Structure 1
Amino acid sequence: MARSGGFTYAAILLLVLNIFQVDVVRGQSTHPIEANALSAIKARLIDPTNNLNKWNRGDPCTSNWTGVTCHKIPSDTYLHVTKLELFKMNLSGTLAPEVGLLSQLRKLNFMWNNLTGNIPKEIGNITTLNLMALNGNQLSGSLPDEIGYLKKLNRLQVDQNQISGPIPTSFANLESMKHLHMNNNSLSGQIPSELSRLSKLLHLLVDTNNLSGPLPRNLAGMLSLKIFQADNNNFSGSSIPAAYNNIRTLLKLSLRNCSLQGVIPDLSGIPELGYLDLSWNQLRGSIAVDRLASNITTIILSHNFLNGTIPANFSGLPNLQLLNFESNSLDTIPAAFEPPKAVIVLISGNPVCDNPARAKGLCQPKSVNEAPSGQGPQVNIDCASCPTDKNYEYNPLSPIPCICLVPLEVGFRLKSPGISDFHSYKKAFEMDSTSLLDLSLYQLYIERYTWEAGPRLNLHLKLFPNNTNLFTMSEVMRLRQLLAGWEITLSDIFGPYDLLNFTLGSYADEFPTLVSSGLKKGALAGILAGTIIAAIAVSVVSTFFIMRRRSKHRTVSRPSLLLRFSVKVDVVRSFTFEEMATATNNFDDSAEIGEGGYGKVYKGNLADGATVAIKRAHEHSLQGSNEFCTEIELLSRLHHRNLVSLIGYCDEEVEQMLVYEFMPNGTLRDHLSATCKRPLNFVQRLHIALGAAKGILYLHTEADPPIFHRDVKTTNILLDSKFVAKVADFGLSKLALIPDVEGTLPEHISTVVKGTPGYLDPEYFLTNKLTEKSDVYSFGVVLLELLTGMKPIQFGKNIVREVKAAYQSGDVSGIIDSRMSWCPREFATRFLSLALKCCQDESDARPYMANIVRELDDIRSALPEGEDLLSVTSMETGSLATLTQSTSNSFITTTREHFDSSHASGSGLMDNSVPSRMSVTPR
Structure 2
Amino acid sequence: MDVSVRQRAALLPEAPPLLLLLLISVAKIRSVSSSTDPSDKHAAELGKTDDPCGNPWEGVICNNSRVTRLSLSSMGLKGTLSGDIGQLTELRSLDLSYNKDLGGPITKSIGNLKKITTLILAACSFSGSIPSEIGDLEDLLYLALNNNNLTGIIPPSFGKLSNLYWFDIAENQLTGPIPVSSGSTPGLDQLLQVRHFHFNNNQLSRTISENLFSSNMTLIHIRLDRNGLTGPVPSGIGTLTALRELNLSNNRLTGKMPDLSGLNIVNYVDLSNNSFSTSEAPAWLGKLQSLTALVIQSGNLTGAVPSALFGFPQLQEVASPLTLGSGNNSFNGSLNLGSNISPQLQVVDFRNNNISGISFKSQYGNTLKLMGNPICNAQNSGSSYCQQQFHHTPYTTSLSHCGSSTCPEDQSFSPNNCECAFPYVGTLIFRGLFFRDLSNRTRFQDLETSLWTELHLANGAVSLQNPFFDSDSYLRVQLRLFPVDRPYFNRSEVMRIGFQLSYQTYKPPPEWGPYLFVALPYVFQAEEGGDGKTSIGKGVVAGIAAASAILVIGLIFLASCGGAPKLKGARFFSFDELKRSTNGFSEANEIGSGSYGKVYRGVLPCGQIVAIKRAQQGSTQGAHEFRTEIELLSRVHHRNLVRLVGFCFDQSEQMLVYEYIPNGTLRESLSGKSGIQLNWNRRLRVALGSARGLAYLHALADPPIIHRDVKTSNIILDEDVTAKVADFGLSKLISDIEKSHVSTQVKGTLGYLDPEYFMTQQLTDRSDVYSFGVVMLELITGKVPIERGRHIVRDIRVAMNSQDRELCGLRDYIDPLLLSSPALPGFARFVGLAMRCVEVSAAARPTMNVVVKEIESILQDEGMNTDYTSAASSARDFSVARVGTAAVPRQPYGDAVVRKEVSSDSFDYSGRYALPTRVEPK
Give the alignment's TM-score, normalised by structure 2: 0.46
Bigger CA radius of gyration: 2
User: Normalized per residue, which structure has more helix?
Assistant: 1
Give the alignment's TM-score, normalised by structure 1: 0.46
User: Normalized per residue, which structure has more strand?
Assistant: 2
